C-alpha cells in the first residue's frame, strides 16, 4: 500500500485515508460531472498532502459537499495535519472560528477555484500528536467550543459503522447531509473505508436532480435526520422507484416511533432496510443502532451499542430504579475531550467515557430507550420542566413543536398544520402544556410558525426558536423598505399563483405541480420580489430563494439589464407571429410548430419531476384542465352568440373527426398531453423514463417520425389526426430538455436539421423559422434583455394560449382596413381573457368552502 508522499515523518494518520489507492479503479466519488476512481482520488489527495507542506499545521477547511473539499480533508487526515471543519454555508461561523483558533492554513473556495491560504509555514500552535479532527457540536453557530477527535476515533468509528451496516464495496451512498456535520462525515468515512462509492452532492432530497443523480449512479443508501423524513413524505418517496436502494439510515434526533414503524414497513415491502441510530459528535458519530428486524416491533428503542462500544446507566436521584439513569458510553470512538481555545489543542485525552446527558432505561430484551434529557431541564416558578418531554407529549397529539425555557416561562414554538381547514390552535396547545407541566397559563407562551427554524443538519435551531418566540420590537419604517421579502411572503406568492394550501419553505415550483402556464407569472413575480432568479429556480426550495444576490445599482425603470428565458421569449414571439400572420400584417409562419417544441420542452421540465407516478399523472391532468376548460368555455360562448362554430369545435374534436380548423394547435397539445400521461401511467414506462430520461423521449421522437413521413400512405387512404403527424415536434422539445451534454444537444439539433426541411412543402421560410426557434431552444437557456422587455414578453407568453383561442373572433372584424389595430386588439383581448380565466380558476376552490390558503401563514400568539 503506497502512502501519500506528503506524509509527515512520525506523524499519526488515519489508515483509511492513507490507503485509498488500494481500491484501484473502483469508483470512489460520483458527482453530476462523472465518477472519480480511488486511484484518481489517491493521486489528488497525494498532491494536496504535498501542498500542505512538511510541517504539521492546523488546517481550517470550509467544508462543502464537493470533490475539492473532500480531497483537502482526506489529504490532511492522510498526512497527519489536524483539520477544523467549518460550515461553508455560514460565513459568520467561518469568520468566528478563524478569529478564535487562528489556523495555519485556510482551505476555501474562491471564485470557483479551491485555494489554500497559507498563513504561516510552521504552526503557531502546540498540536497534540493524537489530534486529527475538530468539529462543532452545534453544526453551524461558530461556537468556539469544539470536539477534539483522534485518528483512532475516526478509524474505529468508520469500522464500527461499516460492520453493523454491512457496507460493501458495491454500495453507493448519497451525501444527503453536510460534510461538516458528524453524521454526514461518518457516511463518507465508512464508505471510503470499505471501497464503496460516495455520490457527492449538495442537492436537497426535494430536488428532482438529486433523485436523477441517485438513480443514474445506482444509489444504494442515503442518510436522513428526522426533518429529512418530513421532506420525503412531501415528495412522495413511498412510491418512488429506486431499484438499487439497499438500506436507509436515520439519526440526528428522535424520529417518532410511528414513523419509524411506517418507514420500516415501507422498506420491508420495497426491499430495503431501515437502520435507526443514536449518536453524538463526542462519540465521532455513532453509539447505538436498532437492528432493522426490530424497527417495526420496537420503534421506540435506541437499540444496542455499536460494535466495540458499551453502555452503563449512572443512577440519578430524580430517576429512581436500577434500569434507568444517565446513559454513559465507552468505546474507542469517544473523543479526546473539548477545546475552547487554541491552548486546548495541545491537550491529550481528558475524557475516558462519554456522559451523554440523555436519560435512558434498559429494557428486559437488552435494548436501550431514551426517556429524557438532563441538560435541557428548566426550572420555572420552582417547577423542574423537561422540554423534551413536552415536545414528545405534543408529538403524540400530532403537533410538531420545539420548547425552550428560562426562569420565567416556557416558550413553545409550533409548526403550522399543512391543512388550513384544521389549523393549529395555540390556546389548545397551551392548555395541553399547562396540564402536562402543572404550570400556570401565564408561564407558557405559544407561537405558531409556518416552519420551525432548522440548522443545515435538519436539527431544530433552538437559538433561532428562542429569538422567534420573544416579543417582536417594531422595525423602523426605513428598514421595512429595504429588507428582502420574508420567506412567508414567498410562500403566500406560491400558494396564490399555484392555488395550493400546502406550501412550505421546502416546496419548489415543480414540486407543487407548477406548469408552463403558471411558470411565466411566477417568474415575473419572483423577479420583482427578489431582483434576481437563478436558471434553475423552479427546482429550488423556497428557502434557497430567500436571500438573493445583492441587486445592482438602480437604473431607470424599464432599462435595467436582465435576461429572459429562451422558452418564454419563444412563446411571446411565436404568438405575435401567429396572430400577425393570420391577419396578414406580415407573413412569417411556423410559430405554432415552434410552440409545440416548446410545449414538449416545458413538459419535461415541469411534469417529469421526482414525484411518484400517480402525482405526475395528476399534475398533467391539471395542466390539461387548465388548457381545455378556458378554451371550451370561450368556444361555447361563441357558439351561443355567433354562427362561426359547431359543437365539435366546442368539444375540441375537429382534429379527430375532421376537417382540421384553426384550433388544431389546442387540440394537438391536449391530445399529446393525454397520450403521454397515459404512457407514463404505465409503471414500466414510468420507470423507463426515470432510468433513461434522454433515451426514452428520443425513442418517442423516432416513433413520431413515422407519422411525420407517413411511409405507409395512411393519409391517402383516410383521415389521419393531425396529432399523429406533428407529435415528433413535441417529443423533440422533450428530448431537448433532457439533453445535458454537448453530444446530446448535437444529436437533437441534427434531428431538427434532418426532419424539419421538407415538412412544409414549398415554404422554406416557414421551415427556417421552425429550425431557428428549435435550435435556439436547444442551445441557449437565456438571452439578454431589459426589465420592460421581460414584462411585455412575460405577459404575452403567459397569455399565449388564450390569445390563440380568442383572436379568431377579434381580427376578422378589423383586419380589412386596420391590420395593425386588429393585431393589437387580438393581443389585448387574449390577455384580458387570460386574466379572467386565471382569476376564475383560482377562485374555484372557495366554492367548495375551503378557507383561504393564506390562513396557515398567519403568525398567531397565545399570550
Instruction: Out of 48-52, 103-107, 467-471, 795-799, pick the least confident.
Output: 467-471
Band (131; pLDDT cuts 50, 70, 90): very high
What average pLDDT score do residues 386-399 get? 83
pLDDT at 670: 93
Are the C-beta atoms of residues 468 and 403 closer than 8 Å to each other? Answer: no
Closest CA to 270 of 241, 230, 293, 233: 241
How many other C-beta atoms are found inside a 10 Å radius of the C-beta of residue 651?
Answer: 15
Phi, psi of 561 (to 5 degrees): -75, 135
Instruction: Out of 31-40, 236-245, 477-486, pick the least confident.
Output: 477-486
Closest CA to 822 of 834, 832, 812: 812
Band (810; pLDDT cuts 50, 70, 90): confident
Residue 755 DSSP one-character state = H
pLDDT at 855: 32
Please determine, for residue 282, whether its predicted confidence score (pLDDT) is greater than 80: yes
Band (718; pLDDT cuts 50, 70, 90): low
Closest CA to 333 of 353, 348, 359: 353
What average pLDDT score do residues 682-690 get? 88
Phi, psi of 461 (to 5 degrees): -95, 90
Closest CA to 189 of 153, 216, 137: 153
Please determine, for residue 650, whether its predicted confidence score (pLDDT) is greater than 50: yes
Kindly tell me the sign of the dihedral angle through the C-alpha atoms of 692, 696, 697, 701. Answer: positive
pLDDT tens digits along 114-125: 899 999 999 999
Please determine, for residue 409, whether its predicted confidence score (pLDDT) is greater than 80: no
**DSSP-based three-state secondary structure for 371:** strand
Phi, psi of 402 (to 5 degrees): -130, 135
pLDDT at 676: 93
Closest CA to 48 of 87, 13, 78, 22: 78
Alpha-carbon span 619 to 606, nearest angstrom:
9
**DSSP-based three-state secondary structure for 260:** helix
Q: How far is CA 24 from the centre of its chain?
A: 33
pLDDT at 378: 67
- Give the chain's mean pLDDT: 84
What average pLDDT score do residues 417-422 get? 52
pLDDT tens digits along 823-843: 899 999 999 998 888 777 755
Are the C-beta atoms of residues 310 and 332 closer than 8 Å to each other? Answer: no
Please determine, for residue 612, whether its predicted confidence score (pLDDT) is greater than 50: yes
Beta strands 197-199; 27-31: pairing state: parallel
- Strand order, beta sheet including 410-415: 401-405, 410-415, 444-449, 860-862
Residue 383 DSSP one-character state = E
Alpha-carbon span 708 to 355, nearest angstrom:
73
Which residues of the chain form CATH 3.40.50.12780?
15-370
pLDDT at 717: 65
Domain 376-468 matching CATH 3.40.50.11290: the answer reads no
pLDDT at 842: 58
Q: What percent of the chain has pLDDT over 90?
A: 47
Alpha-carbon span 268 to 273, nearest angstrom:
7
How many other C-beta atoms are found inside a 10 Å radius of the C-beta of residue 431?
Answer: 15
Please determine, for residue 471, whether its predicted confidence score (pLDDT) is greater than 80: no
Please determine, for residue 749, whether its predicted confidence score (pLDDT) is greater than 90: yes
Band (486; pLDDT cuts 50, 70, 90): very low
Please determine, for residue 548, whether its predicted confidence score (pLDDT) is greater than 60: no
Secondary structure element (H or E) that encloses residue 143, with its range: none
How many other C-beta atoms are found inside a 10 Å radius of the C-beta of residue 109?
Answer: 14
Band (306; pLDDT cuts 50, 70, 90): very high
Band (789; pLDDT cuts 50, 70, 90): confident
Instruction: Out of 305-309, 415-419, 508-512, pick the least confident.
Output: 415-419
Please determine, for residue 395, whether its predicted confidence score (pLDDT) is greater than 90: no
DSSP one-letter string for 170-221: T-EEE--S-TTSHHHHHHHHHHHHTT-EEE-----TTSHHHHHHHHHTT--E
What average pLDDT score do residues 546-573 get? 64
pLDDT at 463: 66
Burial (CB < 10 A; 0-12, 13-18, 19+), residue 60, is buried
Band (695; pLDDT cuts 50, 70, 90): very high
What average pLDDT score do residues 763-786 get? 91
Alpha-carbon span 330 to 270, nearest angstrom:
36
Band (532; pLDDT cuts 50, 70, 90): low
Which residue is it, cell 489543542?
345
Q: What is the CATH number of domain 15-370?
A: 3.40.50.12780
Which residues of the chain form CATH 3.30.300.30?
376-468
Which residue is it, cell 467549518?
86
What average pLDDT score do residues 347-360 get? 92
Alpha-carbon span 278 to 304, nearest angstrom:
9
Closest CA to 74 of 91, 87, 90, 61: 61
Residue 460 DSSP one-character state = B
Alpha-carbon span 490 to 495, nearest angstrom:
8
Which residue is it, cell 500528536?
129
Alpha-carbon span 202 to 287, nearest angstrom:
26
**795 or 439, which is more confident?**
795
What average pLDDT score do residues 704-729 get? 84
What average pLDDT score do residues 442-466 get? 77
Here the cell at position 255 is 424520529
Please determine, for residue 376, whether its predicted confidence score (pLDDT) is greater than 90: no
Phi, psi of 704 (to 5 degrees): -65, -25
Alpha-carbon span 454 to 465, nearest angstrom:
9
**477 or 669, which is more confident?**
669
Amino acid at each position: 500500500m503506497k502512502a501519500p508522499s506528503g506524509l509527515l515523518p512520525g506523524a499519526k494518520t488515519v489508515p483509511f485515508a492513507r490507503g485509498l489507492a488500494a481500491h484501484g479503479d473502483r469508483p470512489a466519488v460520483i458527482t453530476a460531472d462523472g465518477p472519480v476512481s480511488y486511484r484518481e482520488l489517491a493521486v489528488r489527495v497525494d498532491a494536496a498532502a504535498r501542498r500542505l507542506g512538511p510541517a504539521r499545521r492546523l488546517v481550517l477547511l470550509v467544508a462543502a459537499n464537493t470533490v475539492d473539499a473532500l480531497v483537502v480533508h482526506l489529504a490532511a487526515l492522510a498526512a497527519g495535519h489536524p483539520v477544523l471543519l467549518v460550515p461553508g454555508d455560514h460565513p459568520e461561523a467561518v469568520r468566528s472560528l478563524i478569529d478564535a483558533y487562528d489556523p495555519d492554513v485556510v482551505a476555501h473556495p474562491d471564485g470557483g477555484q479551491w485555494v489554500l491560504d497559507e498563513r504561516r509555514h510552521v504552526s503557531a500552535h502546540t498540536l497534540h500528536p493524537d489530534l486529527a479532527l475538530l468539529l462543532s457540536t452545534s453544526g453551524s453557530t461558530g461556537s468556539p467550543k469544539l470536539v477534539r477527535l483522534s485518528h483512532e476515533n475516526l478509524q474505529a468509528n468508520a469500522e464500527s459503522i461499516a460492520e453493523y451496516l454491512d457496507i460493501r464495496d458495491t454500495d453507493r451512498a448519497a451525501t444527503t447531509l453536510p460534510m461538516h456535520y458528524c453524521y454526514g462525515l461518518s457516511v463518507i468515512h465508512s464508505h471510503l473505508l470499505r471501497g464503496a462509492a460516495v455520490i457527492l452532492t449538495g442537492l436537497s432530497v426535494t430536488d428532482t436532480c438529486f433523485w436523477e443523480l441517485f438513480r443514474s449512479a445506482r444509489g444504494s443508501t442515503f442518510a436522513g435526520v428526522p426533518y429529512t423524513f418530513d421532506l420525503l413524505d412531501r415528495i412522495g418517496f413511498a412510491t418512488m422507484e429506486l431499484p438499487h436502494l439497499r438500506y436507509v439510515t436515520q439519526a440526528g434526533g428522535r424520529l417518532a416511533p410511528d414513523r419509524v414503524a411506517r418507514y420500516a414497513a415501507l422498506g420491508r415491502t420495497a426491499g430495503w432496510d431501515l437502520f435507526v441510530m443514536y449518536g453524538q459528535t463526542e462519540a465521532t458519530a455513532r453509539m447505538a443502532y436498532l437492528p432493522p428486524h426490530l424497527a417495526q416491533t420496537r420503534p421506540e428503542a435506541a437499540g444496542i451499542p455499536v460494535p466495540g462500544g458499551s453502555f452503563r446507566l449512572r443512577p440519578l436521584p430524580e430517576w429512581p430504579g436500577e434500569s434507568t439513569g444517565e446513559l454513559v458510553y465507552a468505546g474507542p470512538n469517544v473523543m479526546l475531550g473539548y477545546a475552547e481555545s487554541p491552548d486546548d489543542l495541545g491537550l491529550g485525552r481528558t475524557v475516558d467515557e462519554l456522559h451523554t446527558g440523555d436519560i435512558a432505561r434498559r429494557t428486559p430484551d437488552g435494548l436501550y430507550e431514551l426517556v429524557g434529557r438532563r441538560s435541557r431541564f428548566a426550572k420555572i416558578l420552582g417547577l423542574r420542566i423537561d422540554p423534551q418531554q413536552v415536545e414528545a407529549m405534543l408529538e403524540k397529539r400530532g403537533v410538531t413543536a420545539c420548547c425552550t425555557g428560562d426562569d420565567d416561562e416556557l416558550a413553545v414554538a409550533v409548526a403550522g398544520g399543512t391543512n388550513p381547514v384544521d389549523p393549529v390552535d395555540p390556546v389548545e396547545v397551551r392548555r395541553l402544556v399547562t396540564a402536562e407541566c402543572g404550570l400556570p397559563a401565564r408561564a407558557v407562551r405559544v407561537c405558531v410558525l409556518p416552519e420551525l427554524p432548522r440548522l443545515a443538519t435538519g436539527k431544530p435551531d433552538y437559538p433561532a426558536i428562542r429569538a422567534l418566540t420573544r416579543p417582536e420590537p417594531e422595525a423602523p419604517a426605513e428598514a421595512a423598505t429595504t429588507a428582502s421579502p420574508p420567506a412567508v411572503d414567498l410562500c403566500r406568492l406560491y400558494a396564490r399563483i399555484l392555488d395550493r394550501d400546502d406550501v412550505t419553505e421546502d416546496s419548489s415550483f415543480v414540486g407543487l405541480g407548477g406548469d408552463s402556464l403558471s411558470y411565466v407569472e411566477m417568474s415575473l413575480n419572483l423577479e420583482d420580489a427578489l431582483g434576481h432568479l437563478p436558471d434553475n429556480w423552479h427546482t429550488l426550495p423556497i428557502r434557497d430563494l430567500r436571500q438573493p444576490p445583492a441587486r445592482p445599482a438602480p437604473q431607470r425603470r424599464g432599462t435595467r439589464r436582465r435576461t429572459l428565458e429562451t422558452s418564454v421569449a419563444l412563446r411571446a414571439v411565436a404568438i405575435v407571429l401567429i396572430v400577425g400572420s393570420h391577419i396578414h400584417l406580415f407573413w412569417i409562419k411556423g410559430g405554432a410548430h415552434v410552440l409545440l417544441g416548446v410545449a414538449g420542452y416545458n413538459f419535461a421540465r415541469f411534469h417529469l419531476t421526482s414525484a411518484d407516478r400517480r402525482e405526475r399523472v395528476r399534475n398533467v391532468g391539471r395542466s390539461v384542465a387548465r388548457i381545455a376548460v378556458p378554451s371550451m368555455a370561450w368556444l361555447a360562448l361563441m357558439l351561443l352568440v355567433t354562427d362561426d362554430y359547431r359543437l365539435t369545435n366546442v368539444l375540441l374534436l375537429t382534429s379527430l373527426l375532421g376537417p382540421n380548423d384553426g384550433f388544431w394547435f389546442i387540440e394537438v397539445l391536449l391530445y399529446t398531453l393525454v397520450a403521454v400521461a397515459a404512457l407514463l401511467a404505465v409503471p414500466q414506462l414510468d420507470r423507463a423514463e426515470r432510468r433513461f430520461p434522454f433515451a426514452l423521449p428520443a425513442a418517442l421522437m423516432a416513433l413520431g417520425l413515422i407519422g411525420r413521413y407517413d411511409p405507409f400512405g395512411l393519409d391517402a387512404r383516410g383521415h389521419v389526426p393531425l396529432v399523429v403527424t406533428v407529435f415528433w415536434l413535441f417529443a423533440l422539445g422533450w428530448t431537448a430538455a433532457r439533453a445535458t451534454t454537448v453530444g446530446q444537444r448535437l444529436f437533437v439539433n441534427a434531428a431538427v436539421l434532418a426532419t424539419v426541411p421538407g415538412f412544409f412543402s414549398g415554404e422554406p421560410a416557414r421551415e427556417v423559422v421552425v429550425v431557428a426557434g428549435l435550435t435556439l431552444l436547444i442551445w441557449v437557456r437565456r438571452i439578454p434583455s431589459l426589465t420592460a422587455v421581460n414584462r411585455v414578453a412575460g405577459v404575452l407568453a403567459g397569455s399565449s394560449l388564450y390569445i390563440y383561442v380568442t383572436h379568431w373572433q377579434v381580427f376578422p372584424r378589423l383586419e380589412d382596413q386596420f391590420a395593425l389595430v386588429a393585431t393589437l386588439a387580438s393581443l389585448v383581448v387574449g390577455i384580458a381573457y387570460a386574466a379572467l380565466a386565471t382569476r376564475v380558476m383560482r377562485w374555484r376552490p372557495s366554492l367548495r368552502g375551503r378557507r383561504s390558503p393564506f390562513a396557515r401563514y398567519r403568525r398567531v400568539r397565545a399570550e
